[in-house]
Chains A and B, each alone.
Chain A
């Protein structure tokens, strides 16, 4: 069965610091992997996606993620966090039926 885990429920970083959000997945075939961001009371915004090919994926807003099949991971990174990045981040797996992880709440200290 498909599943996604995000070990960190909440992370706090200082503005300008680097960020890594962890994601591990369980999927029967080659996974379609996604990272979404959701601001309070808002819908989802797709940050980036991986289907195949280069395992380092570039997304919007300076985010990137690396697919590591051996570790079943798809961690999200950003070299320098901005205050506006404070939000909820969801890792997800699937093609049509998308399964979401529990989310990681990011707080940014000015």
Chain B
């Protein structure tokens, strides 16, 4: 199956700093990628839809100025958590589906665990 890679897998940052998370589709192109957040012992919540070459679409309640999404190429989307605070500590996961295919699932990255101290 197709592979989606996230980097880093874990990151610890100081409160007030910014952190960038990368999501790459390794063997396919994706004009659309999706970013999810998962708090401890909770489900995955869709944060935003990342669109190559255009602005991301954010779900209700997600601050677009805090969670900056850039989808500059067909294989890379980045999520930047700006001015991070401890409450932003979470597990962030991206996904993408192979373009132009039917009956295939979205492929998920392995996630990035962010800890803000």
Question: Which residues does A use to contact B, with CB under 8 Å?
Answer: 32, 34, 41-44, 46, 49, 51-52, 90, 94-103
Contacts and interface: CB of A to CB of B under 8 A. Distances in A.
Contacts of A43: 93, 108-111
Contact of B46 (A99, A102, A103): A99
19 contacts: A44-B93, A49-B105, A52-B103, A90-B44, A95-B97, A95-B106, A96-B34, A96-B49, A97-B46, A97-B49, A98-B34, A98-B95, A99-B46, A100-B36, A100-B43, A101-B43, A102-B42, A102-B43, A103-B43
**Dominant secondary structure of chain A at its interface with chain B:** loop
Q: How large is the interface on B (under 10, 10 to 19, 20 to 34, 35 or more residues)?
A: 20 to 34
Contacts of A100: 36, 43-45
B106 to A, nearest CB: 5
Interface string B82-117: 000000000001010100001101101111010000
